[in-house]
Amino acid sequence: MSFLEENETAIVIALFAVSIVAFLLFSKKPKGCLDPDKFREFKLVKRTQLSHNVAKFRFALPSPTSVLGLPIGQHISCRGKDSQGEEVIKPYTPTTLDTDAGYFELVIKMYPQGRMSHHFREMKEGDYLDVKGPKVRAVTVSTVIFTCYQGRFKYRPGDVRAFGMIAGGSGITPMYQVARAILEDESDKTKLDLIYANVTVDDILLKEELDTLATKYWGRFKVYYVLNQPPEGWTGGVGFVSKEMIEEYLPKPAFDIKILRCGPPPMNKAMAAHLEALRYEPEALFQF
C-alpha cells in the first residue's frame, strides 16, 4: 500500500470515528431537570388567567433546549406556603411534554380554601416554585403491561388497542398529557375515549385544547362532556357520570383496553363501583 493510500485510509477511519461520536452525542436523549429527592427552583415566566379561579403557569427550564424529564402520566411535587405561612406540598401533572423544550406548564384551579391554591394565587411572574419528582409510592397491582403505582403510569405504544378515560375537574391534566403523548406519536394508533365531568361550563379546564385534539385526531380521540349544572341548550351529558354513560361512550371490557380515571375521591369511588358492575377486570383499571 502506498503512502497516499495509507493516508486516505486513515482519514476515512478518522471521519467514521468522528461521525459515530457525533451521533452518540447528539442523538442522546437530553437529561431531565428533575430530582426525585431534592426540590429545585423554577422561575415563573408567564401567568395566563383562564377564568376567575383558573390560571396557566409557565415555568422556565435552565436552557431553551432543557426538558423536564417527567415520564408520561406522572406527577411532580410542588412546595409552597399556605395563608398561615406554613409549608405545603401537593402533586400536580404538567400539561406539557418533553417535546416542549425550555419550559413546562401547569394549569391550576385555585380553590378558596385550598392551601396550595393560596400559594399559586399569590405567585407573580418572576417568582420561583420549588419542584421535585417524580414521586413514587407503591400500592397494589402489577401486570405485564402496567406497573400500577399511585401516581405512576407506564405506557408503551401498542400496549393496548384503546384507552377509556374518566376525569373530573382538575383530574383532566394527566389525561390531557397522556392523550397528547399518544396522539402526537405518528407510530401509535391507540384510540382514546374521554368522559370529562364538571359542575358548570366555566369549570371545564383545557376545553379549547381538548376540542382541538378531537378535531385534529378525529376517529382516534373523542371527548364527552358532562355537567352537573348545564346551561340552556347544552347537548352533552347532564348530572353525574353514570354507568350508562360509561357503557355508551367508553370501550367495552376486553383484554386489550384499559380504563384510566382521575377526579375527586367521591367521584373515584363511584366510578370504581360502576366499572366493577360493568365487569371490567381489575387489571384493566388505573387511578391517577
Binding site as annotated, residues for FAD: 91-92, 107, 109, 116-117, 173
Known binding-site positions: 91-92, 107, 109, 116-117, 173
Q: Choosing from 119, 262, 274, 280, which is the catalytic residue? A: 262
Q: Are 65 and 26 in contact (CB under 8 A)?
A: no
**How does DSSP classify residue 70?**
P
Strand 191-198 to 221-227 pairing: parallel
**93: annotated active-site residue:** yes
CA torsion, ordered 221, 226, 230, 235, to nearest 10 deg = 50
**65: annotated active-site residue:** no
HEC secondary structure over 120-132: HHHCCCCCEEEEE
If 0-12 CB within 10 Å is exposed, 13-18 middle and 19+ buried, where does residue 32 land?
middle
Rounded Cα distance, 32 and 100, in Å: 12
**92: annotated active-site residue:** yes
Question: In sequence order, what are the beta bridge partners of 226?
Answer: 197, 237
Question: In sequence order, what are the beta bridge partners of 88?
Answer: 80
**33: annotated active-site residue:** no
Q: Indicate which residues carry an active-site annotation.
A: 75, 92-93, 262
